[in-house]
């Protein structure tokens, strides 16, 4: 709203400066016209009686007052018909612009909040993923070690069982061989003894 008031002041200053310029341009024309007619009777003569100055620069205060009155009337009419509606439209636009700026600022801060929330949740998800990957890697390593330990234990058990089985089979085979060797020895001895006897 402050910008609207300063714009109004600047516009009024420009209007008054333009009016002063127009008046300053029209005064010499009026004074030249009065000087050209010389002494004339009637209204022109009466009007020329107020002239002061000589030559090209003759000033008439009555003409200046009439021009000022005309200017003020024009200002009042323009103010009613043009300036007030124009300022109302400008104020409405300024209000709309300020509302739009406030709305866009709210939207920007809300969007910034969403972006911050998104970045925080993204960082949290990445942190959780990293922790999950580390835990999974640890679990895989633990499972691998456990499987290796189980395989080693199973293998050593199987080796022990195989050794025990081989040892018992060897003992059984040895005892069978000893039994067979004893039988063969007895048969051989019987045969040798039977030949010698026979």
User: What angle in degrees, to the nearest 10, is found between the helix axes of 2-37 and 84-197?
Assistant: 150
Q: CA 195 to CA 10: how far, in whole Å? A: 157
Q: What is the pLDDT of residue 2?
A: 56
Domain limits, the chain:
2-125
Sequence-separated (6 or more) residues with CB below 8 Å from residue 171: none
Sequence-separated (6 or more) residues with CB below 8 Å from residue 90: 4, 7
**How far, CA to CA in Å, does 107 sit from each of 95, 97, 168?**
18, 15, 88
Q: What is the pLDDT of residue 106?
A: 93
Q: What is the pLDDT of residue 42?
A: 63
Residue in the structure block whose two tokens are 């809300």: 110
The closest of 82, 83, 30, 98 to 60, measured between CA atoms, is 30
Q: CA 169 to CA 163: how far, in whole Å? A: 10
The closest of 6, 15, 1 to 83, measured between CA atoms, is 15
Q: What is the chain's pLDDT, residue by residue, as a tens digit (198 residues)?
A: 556 677 777 777 777 777 767 666 655 554 555 455 555 556 666 666 666 666 666 676 777 788 888 888 888 888 888 888 888 899 999 999 999 999 999 999 999 999 999 999 999 999 999 999 999 999 999 988 999 988 989 898 889 888 888 888 888 888 888 888 888 888 887 887 776 544
Q: What is the pLDDT of residue 198?
A: 46
Q: CA 57 to CA 48: how far, in whole Å? A: 13
Q: What is the pLDDT of residue 3?
A: 61
Contact 60, 31 (CB under 8 A): yes
Contact 59, 27 (CB under 8 A): yes
């Amino acid at each position: 709203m402050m910008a609207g008031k300063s714009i109004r002041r600047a516009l009024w200053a420009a209007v008054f400066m333009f009016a002063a310029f127009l008046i300053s341009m029209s005064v010499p024309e009026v004074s030249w016209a009065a000087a050209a007619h010389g002494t004339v009777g009637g209204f022109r003569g009466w009007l020329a009686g107020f002239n002061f100055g000589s030559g090209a620069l003759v000033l008439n205060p009555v003409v200046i007052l009439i021009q000022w009155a005309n200017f003020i009337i024009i200002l009042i009419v323009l103010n009613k018909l043009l300036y007030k509606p124009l300022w109302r439209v400008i104020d409405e636009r300024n209000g709309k612009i300020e509302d739009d700026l406030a709305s866009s600022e709210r939207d920007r801060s809300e969007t910034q909040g969403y972006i911050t929330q998104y970045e925080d949740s993204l960082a949290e998800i990445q942190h959780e993923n990293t922790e999950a990957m580390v835990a999974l890697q640890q679990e895989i390593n633990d499972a691998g070690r456990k499987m290796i330990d189980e395989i080693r234990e199973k293998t050593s058990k199987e080796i022990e069982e195989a050794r025990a089985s081989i040892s018992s089979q060897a003992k059984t085979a040895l005892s069978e061989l000893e039994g067979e060797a004893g039988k063969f020895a007895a048969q051989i001895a019987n045969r040798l003894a039977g030949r010698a006897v026979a």
